[in-house]
């Protein structure tokens, strides 16, 4: 739209004003002061009335212009403009801070809002596993079917991603306590340091734009809660928001597995990636042809009682799951170890049925059986210290439990009958261990996009 057809000097003639009105075909003209500020509005009806009252075509248009006209600025909402146009107004001039014309809106010309800058956010939950661990390793279910049972809980990894106008890559990780600055993606991928998992995801995604990425988690690293898969999923969720053809849940889980297992070369299973992406209580079956995630419909009262009967305890002992999985891979060559894993698979089916039927005492006992089987997989899974923590918790009232993740440290999960929980909690805290409150999380990976103008402000340094 040619803005010049809508403005005229306030000292111009009525004849000139009518010529512009005829040219713009909107039935009005805006009068301007010597500074270019719009000071009035005249319609063809105003001019016609003036001529009938004795005005001449050579008189100034400013004499007939109305200084009290309706106008809007760039901050006027689209909703307000629509209401004004729907009420009685045909044309609304858009003016800047200097009252200069920047645009015209009308019933026939109300442009869509220009796409604003956006950023993406995501969060992905950690999982606690109950049974079947070890059977989600490819080198196991290559010969036997694997099955695990797990759920996600209310501890998350969080990610924020925004696209830059240049090729720079900037990453801030509170978990690592470090930042990465690079001129471009290639430079970011070539840097040495603690960003290996993040770099593996970036290599996989191969973004064609510069970006800033912020990462943090609600739980410590190497906790046995599937944290590396959770961070990977959170990152993938953010990048997925900027794709037209978005990855589905299975693809997201597979991409997280690919980055960590194939690109980074860390040994491990499949359940962590599926658990964090899908979320909720799931029974998962692993076969070479396909992995199947079965959501479990557990009665709400059973879930509430189970949630109140579990204690999540941080041992404060860090571990390297990749090393344990590598040792477990070697041990899996022995027939007796494969038989222990197979027994754990069979147990996971029983645990599934116990949950579905609300038999929580049996479920707690099965947790103990699961741990007894698991620590036979490898000598690296438990230690004298960890065994002592577990045995003492059992003496104080825990019915069963297990060390989460690959083993070697991280978090213990205990099942405690209702009237013994205070006693077990007191014992664990007296031993200097930290209890982490949690709730079951029914949602898996969640990601969304936000307009920067709605929820972000740059803060200048002082």
pLDDT of residue 75: 85
pLDDT of residue 457: 58
pLDDT of residue 311: 97
Q: For residue 230, give the 3-state DSSP assignment.
A: helix
CATH of domain 3-106: 3.10.580.10
pLDDT of residue 220: 87
C-beta pairs of 78-86 under 8 Å, 24+ apart in sequence? 78/110, 78/113, 81/105, 81/110, 82/110, 85/110
C-alpha triplet 269, 271, 274: angle, nearest 5° = 130
What gap in Å lies between CA 299 and CA 175, rounded to an integer?
A: 36
CB within 8 Å of 55: residues ≥ 6 apart: 14, 63, 64
Positions marked catalytic: 272
pLDDT of residue 462: 35
Structure tokens at 415: 């099942």
What gap in Å lies between CA 97 and CA 315, rounded to an integer?
A: 61
Structure tokens at 4: 């010049």
Binning the chain into helix, strand and coil, the percentages to the nearest 5 are 40, 25, 35
Q: For residue 380, give the 3-state DSSP assignment.
A: coil
Per CATH, domain 119-441 is 3.30.230.120: yes
In angstroms, what CA-CA distances link 195 with 166, 171, 191, 199, 256?
22, 9, 8, 6, 15
For the chain, 462 residues long, give each residue's pLDDT as a single digit of tens: 788 999 999 999 999 999 999 999 999 999 999 999 999 999 999 999 999 999 999 999 999 999 999 999 988 988 999 998 988 788 999 999 999 999 999 888 887 766 778 999 999 999 999 999 889 989 889 888 999 999 999 999 999 999 999 999 999 999 999 999 999 999 999 999 999 999 999 999 999 999 999 999 999 887 778 889 999 999 999 999 999 999 999 999 999 999 999 999 888 899 999 999 999 999 999 999 999 999 999 999 999 999 999 999 998 887 555 565 566 566 666 778 788 889 999 999 999 999 999 999 999 999 999 999 888 877 778 889 999 999 999 999 999 999 887 667 889 999 999 899 999 999 999 999 999 999 999 999 999 999 887 665 555 443
Structure tokens at 396: 């104080």
DSSP characters for 2-31?
A: -GGGGEEETTSBHHHHHHHHHHH-SSEEEE
pLDDT of residue 111: 76
The residue extents of the domains of the chain are: 3-106, 119-441
* pTM, rounded to two decimals: 0.82
pLDDT of residue 323: 62
What gap in Å lies between CA 386 and CA 412, rounded to an integer?
A: 9
Topology agreement, domain 3-106 and domain 119-441: no
């Amino acid at each position: 739209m040619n803005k010049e057809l809508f403005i005229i000097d306030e000292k111009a003639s009525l004849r000139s004003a009518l010529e512009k009105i005829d040219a713009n075909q909107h039935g009005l003209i805006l009068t301007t002061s010597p500074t270019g500020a719009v000071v009035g509005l005249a319609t063809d009806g105003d001019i016609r009335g003036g001529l009938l009252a004795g005005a001449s075509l050579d008189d100034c248009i400013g004499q007939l212009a109305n200084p009290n006209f309706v106008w809007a600025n760039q901050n006027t909402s689209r909703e307000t403009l629509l209401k004004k146009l729907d009420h009685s107004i045909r044309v609304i001039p858009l003016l800047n801070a200097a009252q200069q014309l920047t645009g015209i809106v009308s019933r026939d010309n109300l442009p869509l809002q220009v796409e604003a800058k956006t950023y993406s956010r995501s969060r992905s939950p950690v999982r606690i596993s109950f049974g079947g661990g070890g059977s989600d390793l490819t080198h196991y279910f290559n010969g036997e079917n694997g099955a695990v049972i797990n759920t996600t809980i209310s501890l998350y990894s969080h990610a924020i991603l925004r696209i830059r106008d240049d090729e720079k890559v900037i990453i801030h990780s509170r978990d690592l306590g470090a930042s990465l600055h690079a001129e471009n993606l290639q430079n970011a991928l070539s840097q040495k340091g603690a960003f290996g998992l993040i770099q593996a995801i970036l290599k996989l995604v191969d973004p064609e734009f510069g970006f800033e990425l912020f990462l943090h988690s609600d739980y410590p690293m190497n906790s046995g809660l599937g944290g590396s898969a959770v961070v990977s999923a959170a990152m993938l969720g953010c990048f997925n928001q900027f794709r037209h053809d978005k990855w589905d849940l299975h693809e997201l889980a597979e991409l997280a597995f690919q980055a960590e297992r194939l690109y980074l070369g860390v040994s491990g299973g499949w359940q962590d990636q599926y658990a964090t992406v899908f979320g909720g209580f799931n029974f998962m079956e692993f076969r070479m042809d396909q992995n199947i995630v079965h959501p479990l419909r557990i009665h709400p009262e059973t879930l509430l009682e189970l949630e109140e009967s579990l204690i999540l305890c941080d041992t404060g002992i860090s571990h390297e799951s990749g090393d344990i999985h590598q040792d477990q891979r070697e041990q899996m060559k022995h027939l007796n170890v494969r038989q222990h894993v197979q027994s754990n698979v069979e147990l996971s089916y029983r645990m599934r049925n116990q949950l579905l039927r609300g038999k929580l005492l049996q479920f707690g006992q099965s947790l103990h059986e699961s741990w007894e089987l698991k620590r036979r997989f490898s000598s690296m899974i438990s230690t004298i210290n960890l065994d002592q923590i577990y045995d003492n918790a059992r003496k104080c009232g825990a019915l069963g439990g297990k060390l989460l993740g690959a083993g070697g440290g991280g978090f213990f999960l205990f099942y405690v009958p209702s009237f013994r929980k205070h006693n077990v909690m007191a014992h664990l805290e007296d031993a200097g261990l930290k209890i982490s409150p949690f709730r079951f999380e029914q949602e898996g990976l969640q990601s969304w996009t936000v307009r920067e103008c709605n929820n972000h402000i740059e803060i200048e340094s002082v």
